[in-house]
Structure 1
Amino acid sequence: MKVFSCLKLDGDEAVEGVHPVVEETPLSIFINGRHFATAMTSPAMQEEFVAGHLFSEGIVKGLEEIESLNVEENVVKVVLTNPIRAIRSKRPILSGCGGTSSFLDESKLAKVVSDLRIERGDLRAAVKEISMSQLHKATGGVHSVGLFDRRGVICKVEDIGRHSALDKVLGRGLLDGVRFEETFVATTGRISSDMALKCSRAGVGIIASRGATTSLAIEIAERTGLSIVGFVRGEKMNVYTGRERIKG
């Protein structure tokens, strides 16, 4: 977080002041010596972000496929046992804001195999916990995502992007050897198709948000077995898919 000067307007009043602003930094990722991508993220947890992104995008199937991962001055150098997946043809970009699911090949979608059952109160508590971000209260510029199991929070992260925040908690879980089939995700942001795909690839059983979901995310969840819960606010929530995992 940095503080910048600004002119604050309120009706007819104009006052010189300052306001805290979230940091956004470029992170260049090189895989086996070749430039893979430059991501714009919050500067914290860069190692977790890269590990989680490679995992949630299906570029690596597990930690054993990452031979080394070194971060230095916003540059990450990764060596993979199978770098071919990183230079494959780009697949369609899923915006989560419309389109069609006709390109979703059932045989290529990761299936969620999870016996997780969660009380509604645990979902409410998880969403409440990630919603108490002091950084968001100060700046209004970040999303919060948490990885939880039956015992409570495993990891929670704030980032300028909800996808990056999700990658970071998945990366932390991957590095710590977490069994993702025993976990669920809580997010302050919209559950779009790419969020659903990331959770499905990781094997997470449930993703819950205080916000909305999209039609394509629901269609993906129906095909993969992911549970989607939206509008978790107070005593209310909408269970769109996988309702058998929500107790009570």
Structure 2
Amino acid sequence: MNLPDPDNDLTYLELNGDAACAACKPVIQESACTLYVNGQKWVTLLCTPNNLDALALGFLRTEGLIASLNDVADFSVRQRGEVGVDVRLKRQDLSLPLRPRLTSGCAGGVTFYDLAAAHYRLNTGLHLSPEQVYDQMARMLAQTADLYREMGGFHISALSDGNNLLLFAYDVGRHNTLDKIAGLSLLRGVATAGRFLLATGRVSTEMLTKAASLGVPLVASRNSPTYLAARLAREWGITLCGYVRGRRMRLYSAPERLGFSPVGEFLEFLPDSQIGGVSAGAS
């Protein structure tokens, strides 16, 4: 884990009731990192400046420009001047796409059906118990407990096989943590398909899309999903867990991976042992 730069200490006033005293603690760093692809300036990401090579490669992966390191000729992190990463792909004729933006208006926006068609249903053999989700979330949070108490202000994500945390990343941006996981998986040769992702941030459609691009069938977060992300999770067969805190959570989709079955069409989930003849996936 990359520790914060001690030069990021910030002096502030700490108040207790009406009393105030000066204090000084480190604050999480945020920098603009520009990604150059085949010599062309493509996108600038606001991020915590660690694991920048993983962030760049993971971003290219989740955006669909590369599938593995075999698609990359070379890459380097700029050490001086502008913070950035240069990536040269083996395909020199690749046209860099403009990143799509979702709008909430009626005209010109991306619809639910456009998004749903972007991925097929994930049918994997992954089956976990709720206890494994609780345990892995606790382990992930323990990784940065001291750092978070010291300064906070960042999100965490991890990749797990259900028993062990395989990859771990933190950043000021919740999306960046998933891109770093995607990049670290390439750099360290860790498969993502059939594993599960843990996160601390809200699960938006972009977060879920990144998870789907990695072949991850289960996403668990300490925060909530958006309504559209929950709908997409059902469409793609991704198990989506929100508000995972202690030994509690909310299960929004594909509950069969955790040994539960949906009853009716209003998200009523009951353990298999309490359902009798209703099978997993029935509605």
Q: TM-score, normalised by structure 1?
A: 0.90
Task: Report which stretch shifted further, 173-182 or 154-163.
Answer: 173-182
Question: Equivalent residue for 1:129?
Answer: 139
Q: Distance in 2 between matches of 1:242 and 1:82?
A: 38
The 2-side partners of 1:86 and 1:16 are apart by 53
* Structure having the higher Rg: 2
Output the amino acid matched with 2:25.
H
Whether 2:86 is the aligned partner of 1:77: answer: yes
CA distance in 2, matches of 1:214, 1:32: 35
Match of 2:171 in 1: 159
Which stretch shifts more, 34-43 or 176-185? 176-185
Q: What amino acid is aligned across from residue 35 of structure 1 in structure 2? A: K
Residue aligning to 2:210? 198
After superposition, give the CA deviation of every residue in 1:23-74 in whole Å (9 maximum; x if it has no partner): 1122111000000111111111111111111111222223221221111222
How far 1:221 sits from its partner (Å)? 1.3
Deviations 1:53-101 (A, max 9, x none): 1111222223221221111222211012346666223322479xxx974
Structure 1 CA distance for aligned equivalents of residues 94 and 257 of structure 2: 33
Structure 1 residues 186 and 66: alpha-carbon distance in aligned structure 2, compared to 1, 3 A threshold: same
Percent identity, please: 27
Whole-angstrom distance in 1 between the partners of 2:102 and 2:250: 27
SS for the counterpart of 2:114 is coil
Aligned-partner residue type, residue 75 of structure 1: G
Aligned mate of 1:221, from 226, 233, 236: 233
Q: Paired residue for 1:89, among 93, 98, 108? A: 98
Question: 3-state SS of the aligned residue for 1:155?
Answer: strand
Distance (whole Å) between structure 1 residues aligned to residue 186 and residue 208 of structure 2:
18
> Structure 1: which 4+ aligned runs deviate by more than 6 Å?
none
Structure 1: tracts of 5 or more residues without a match: none
**TM superposition score normalised by structure 2:** 0.79
Please report how far the alpha carbon of residue 188 of structure 1 lies from its aligned counterpart in structure 2 after TM superposition. 1.1
Q: Which amino acid aligns with 1:69?
A: F
Match of 1:60 in 2: 66
- Asked whether the 8 Å contact 1:59–1:86 carries over to 2, the reply is no
In structure 1, what is the Cα distance between the partners aligned to 2:183 and 2:10? Answer: 32
SS at match of 2:70: helix
> C-alpha deviations, 1:114-159, integer Å up to 9, x for none?
2111121111011112222222221120111111113411011111
The yes-or-no answer on 1:29 pairing with 2:35 is: yes
Greater relative contact order (Cα < 8 A, sep 6+): 1
How far apart are the structure 1 equivalents of 2:87 and 2:192? 23
1:236, distance to aligned residue in structure 2 (A): 1.6
- Aligned partner letter, 1:196: L
Alignment RMSD: 2.2
Aligned residue in 2 for 1:8: 14
Q: 1:148 to 1:111 in 2, by over 3 A?
A: same
Q: CA deviation at 1:110?
A: 4.8
SS in 2 for 1:108: coil
Q: 1:89 to 1:26 in 2, by over 3 A?
A: closer
Aligned residue in 1 for 2:277: none
Structure 2 unaligned spans of 5+: 261-283
